[in-house]
Chain A
Amino acid sequence: MSARIIAPVVLGVAMLGLWEAAVRAAGIPPYILPGPILVAKTLVADWGTLAPSLLVTIEITVEALLAAVVVGGLLAVLFSLSRWIELSLFPYAIILQVTPIVAIAPLIIVWANNVELSLLICAWLVAFFPILSNSILGLRSVDPNLLSLFELYGAGGWRTLIDLRLPSALPYFLGGLRISGGLALIGAVVAEFVAGTGGNGSGLAYRILESGYQLKIPRMFAALALISATGIVIFLLLTLLSHLLLRHWHESALAPER
């Protein structure tokens, strides 16, 4: 095992040990700060409630990310094909991006009139911009000499898009995807909070709210740990995808020579 795995694991275990020791030594009650062992026990004991909520949150995150890939990717291609479409639409994409999701989530929940759909829309709104802006950058970062070559050999716009622009944009798109993966989860959780305060919900954020009301703080920590773990797994999976797609050719995926 390499140092990049051992070092953070050792640090993490040490911090958890310190936390447990501090909680016990100072006699902090679990409704203020539960120790990691109690959190783990609660995670196991409450798995029956937490697991379905985890699935709900994961489902919304994944659906929002897929929608962000489809809409962000297609919009980027459309923008690269038509300067006018880009000039007209891009400012609105920025407005959607800079408006805080917490502020518009209540509106979306009222309008969509369906909790799951409104959560999906919120998560998608947060997630799609990095994919869009990175893909636009990628589609523009084509080697101009390769473009000349395609022109010389009579390639049409469609061929140039498929065989030149899309592969050129792939590393940029994947960079955007990794950011969007985390954002989709954040968007889903934030929207669940907003929906949860209205009494609707079944995702992990709703469990956190509910546990707060009922002073079940260990369960709150357990739900929080699950959200973090989900985010980490999403990041690792997207990093793996990026590596698999780019390993033969892109600098970002190459091991440095020693």
Chain B
Amino acid sequence: MPLVGVRGVSKVFANGVQALVNVALDVEAGEFLSVLGPSGCGKSTLLRLIAGLIQPSGGTIDSSAGRADLGFVFQEPTLMPWATALANVALPLKLHGVARSEREARAAEALGNVGLKGFERTWPRELSGGMKMRVSIARALVTGPRLLLMDEPFAALDEITRHRLNADLLELWQRSKVTVVFVTHSVFESVFLSQRIAVMAARPGRVLSELSIAAPYPRSASFRTSAEYAAYCRQASARLGEAMAA
């Protein structure tokens, strides 16, 4: 049984825009799934539906991951500028009523896991874009979620930073065994990261096809230059092309 089952889900917004129509998608426990599609295809809407932040207009979402099992990473780091890195990471624990000493210890550990040991007392404005995103990921992981939802988290970063964060994210995923749903518009990023790619088409948003990436983990930087990677990228690009034409 999948961790999340999206069955025949449609979403019409109050302004009449049909964001999603009849979307079916299973998320298996422990997998790394990318949702790839052009802008405006409803990728983010799908993620917010899975998170329970909005309700579907039709269809159902069966999830055995409750709210307490969720972590969410937005396209922007979405940090509280008035709080230190540590306080930002500790926020979910604070909202769950965890005592101060415990939540600070766990937040410090989560910061260490994303490579930011020693940055506990820094303010968000003192951090680079990539470091802010690391804080954001630490915040999403601090509660030990079973399902991590990521909405184009690296889209605003430069390529060098993005590649490093891709590699570190994979390492975190393998270590924590968290299930990841990763929304992106980048073919290369989705192939590098995922075991499976769901390709979406726009207007109205729907899942058009799925593609398995069978390359083994750990995937190092050399995977990016391999023939296997290039072949998968060609396949994914072709699928995306079909989705754009559909």
What is A's interface to B at a CB cutoff of 8 Å?
143, 145-146, 148-155, 159, 163-164, 167, 170, 248-250, 254
| A148: B residues at CB distance < 8 A | 48, 53, 72, 74
The contact of A152 among B67, B80, B82, B125, by CB within 8 Å, is: B67
Contacts A/B (CB < 8 Å), 17 sampled = A143-B78, A148-B72, A148-B74, A149-B91, A150-B95, A153-B67, A153-B96, A154-B95, A163-B91, A163-B95, A164-B80, A167-B83, A248-B123, A249-B81, A249-B123, A249-B124, A250-B81
Chain B residues with CB under 8 A of A170? 82
Residues of A within 8 A of B125 (CB): 248-249, 254
Structural contact, A159 and B95, CB atoms closer than 8 A: yes
**Closest chain B residue to A156, Cβ basis:** B95
Beyond the given pairs A150-B95, A249-B82, A250-B81, 16 more chain A to chain B contacts, judged by CB atoms under 8 angstroms and listed by A's residue number, are A146-B78, A149-B74, A149-B78, A152-B70, A153-B67, A153-B95, A154-B95, A154-B96, A159-B95, A163-B94, A163-B95, A167-B80, A170-B82, A248-B82, A248-B125, A254-B125
Q: How many residues of B are counted as interface, with CB atoms below 8 angstroms from the partner's CB atoms?
A: 23
Distance A170 CA – B80 CA, assembled complex (angstroms):
13
B80 touches A155 (CB 8 A): no
Q: Does B120 contact A (CB under 8 A)?
A: no
Among A146, A167, A248, chain B packs the most CB atoms within 10 A around the CB of A248
- Per-position 1/0 for B153-194, Cβ under 8 A of A: 000000000000000000000000000000000000000000
Residues on A with C-beta less than 8 A from B53 are: 148, 151-152
Inter-chain contacts of B95 with A (CB < 8 A): 150, 153-155, 159, 163
Q: How far is the CB of A79 from chain B (nearest CB, A)?
A: 22
In the complex, what distance in Å separates the CA atom of A203 from the CA atom of B95?
Answer: 51
Distance (whole angstroms) from the CB of B82 to the closest CB of chain A: 5
Q: Closest CB of chain A to B99's CB: distance in Å?
A: 16
- Among candidates A145, A151, A153, A250, residue contacting B91 with C-beta atoms closer than 8 Å: A153
Does B92 have its Cβ within 8 Å of any Cβ on chain A?
yes
**Most chain A beta-carbon contacts within 10 A, residue among B70, B82, B96, B125:** B82
Please report which residues of chain B, range 113-143, place their CB below 8 angstroms from some CB of chain A when the two chains form the complex: 123-125
Q: Which 4 A-B pairs have the closest CB atoms?
A: A153-B95, A249-B81, A145-B78, A167-B82
Q: For the complex, would chain A's binding face be called helix, strand, loop or mixed by DSSP majority?
A: helix
| Interface flag for B76 (CB, 8 Å) | yes
Choose among B67, B80, B91, B95 the residue with the greatest number of A CB atoms under 10 Å from its CB: B95
CA distance A127 to B89 in the complex (A): 39
Whether B202 sits at the interface, judged by CB under 8 Å, is: no
Q: Is B51 an interface residue (CB 8 A)?
A: yes
From residue 55 to 81 of chain B, which have CB atoms closer than 8 A to chain A?
Answer: 67-68, 70, 72, 74, 76, 78, 80-81
Residues of A within 8 A of B74 (CB): 145, 148-149
Q: How far is the CB of B48 from chain A (nearest CB, A)?
A: 8
A144 to B218 CA separation, bound complex (whole angstroms): 36
Which A residues are CB-close (under 8 A) to B81? 249-250
Q: Which residue of B lies closest to A150 (CB)?
A: B95
Query: Which residue on A lies nearest to B124, using beta carbons?
Result: A249
Residue among B48, B78, B92 making CB contact with A153, cutoff 8 Å: B92
Distance, CA A244 to CA B92, complexed state (A): 27
Within the complex, the shortest CB–CB distance from A169 to chain B, in Å, comes to 11
By a CB distance below 8 angstroms, the chain A residues around B51 are 152
> Closest CB of chain A to B77's CB: distance in Å?
9
Q: Residue of A at shortest CB range from B126?
A: A248
Chain B residues with CB under 8 A of A145:
74, 76, 78
- B80 neighbours in A (Cβ, 8 Å): 146, 164, 167
A158 CB, min distance to chain B CBs, angstroms: 12
In the assembled complex, the CB of A216 is this many whole angstroms from the nearest CB of chain B, namely: 52
- The smallest C-beta distance from B61 to any residue of chain A, in angstroms, reads 15
